[in-house]
Amino acid sequence: MYDKGDCLVEVLPFIKKFYSKIMVIKYGGSAMLDGALREVFSKDVSLLKYVGINPIIVHGGGPEIGDTLKKLNIESKFYQGLRITDESTMEVVVMVLAGKVNKEIVLQINKSGGKAVGISGVDAHIIKAKKKLVKDMDLGLVGDVDEVNPDILMHLSKDGYIPVVAPIGVDEGGKRYNINADSVASAIAVSLKAEKLIFLTDTDGVMDRERKLISSIRVEDVDRLINNETITGGMIPKILSAKEAILSGVKKVHIINGTRKHSLLEEIFTLSGVGTQIYGQEI
């Protein structure tokens, strides 16, 4: 029989290894919809903080933005998983992400005993953005991360808080941009030299064409999986952000199922892990 005490003590090497390290966790819109799961996520994140790990949360909110746009009769259009964002869509993006979704996550983490602070990339110049340029297409106010200023995130983390970041950036002229949360999480992880970047989404990880889980992917193989359309839609910015993080020095990137209870803890505190791991030179 598996003993509870044995189980608890097994996490000791992981706590030791990750003590005081930063982990950037992207909390996906689709994985955030269920209230009970949101509670589990909040407890997991609070637990990480109390054992000495420093989680930084970056959240999405695609489904909630879509719902609100629908109510307002504004059409949603996508290009390779990115929401084409005109002025009126941008107003809704800010309202839903920085207003509703961000505060709900903060509230829930605080209810679980953590001390979360909700901010957006606009606060303290965290995310300097520039317009995203893609060939033959104007995406409007969709931005790319130009620069990250992680000072405030470091301060908050050191002082015992859990930063919760909405993926909105601002350029030098004060124009705000909607940035895919996956690339914001990746850029923040790179700027803080995070130990891990973990994407919580609504699938078990990256699936192959037979819908079987691919448990690890080399960065060199990412472009091929996009070109042969194994990876499509919202998984494209995620895998590209994962690749970018690995190439810029983040040790490990994982894509895991946020709709499975405690997948975050399983990923961090077990040897086998769950989901898809993206790796560079070595695993």
Ligand X SMILES: Nc1ncnc2c1ncn2[C@@H]1O[C@H](COP(=O)(O)OP(=O)(O)OP(=O)(O)O)[C@@H](O)[C@H]1O
Residues in touch with ligand X (CB under 6 A): 28-31, 60-63, 81, 181-182, 201-203, 206-207, 230-235, 238
- Residue closer to Mg ion, measured from CB, 38 or 59: 59
Return the one option of Mg ion, ligand X, none that residue 140 interacts with (CB less than 5 to 8 A, by type): none
The nearer residue to ligand X, 18 or 96, going by C-beta atoms, is 96
Min CB(220)–ligand X separation in Å: 17
Compute the distance between CA of residue 47 and CA of residue 41 in angstroms, rounded to an integer.
10
The least distance separating Mg ion from the CB of residue 234, rounded to whole angstroms, comes to 4
Q: Which does 232 bind (CB under 5 to 8 A by kind): Mg ion, ligand X, none?
A: ligand X
Tokens read off for 42: 């909040």
Query: Judged by CB, which is closer to Mg ion: 53, or 166?
Result: 166
Residue 275 near residue 267 (C-beta atoms within 8 A): yes
CB of 27 to ligand X, least distance (A): 8
Long-range contacts, stretch 220-229, CB < 8 angstroms, 24+ apart: 222/278
In terms of CB distance, is 160 or 233 closer to ligand X?
Answer: 233
CB of 1 to ligand X, least distance (A): 36
Residue 200 CA to residue 46 CA, distance in Å, equals 16
CA 22 to CA 25: how far, in whole Å?
10
DSSP letters for 14-72 = HHHHHTT-EEEEEE-TGGG--HHHHHHHHHHHHHHHHTT-EEEEEE--HHHHHHHHHHT
Residue closest to 98 by CA, chosen among 139, 55, 68: 68
From residue 230 to residue 249, the character string flagging contacts with Mg ion as x (rule: CB under 5 A) and all else as - is ----x---------------
- Residue 167 touches Mg ion, criterion: CB under 5 A: no
Q: How far is the CB of 77 from ligand X (least distance, A)?
A: 15
Contact residues for Mg ion (CB under 5 A)?
A: 234
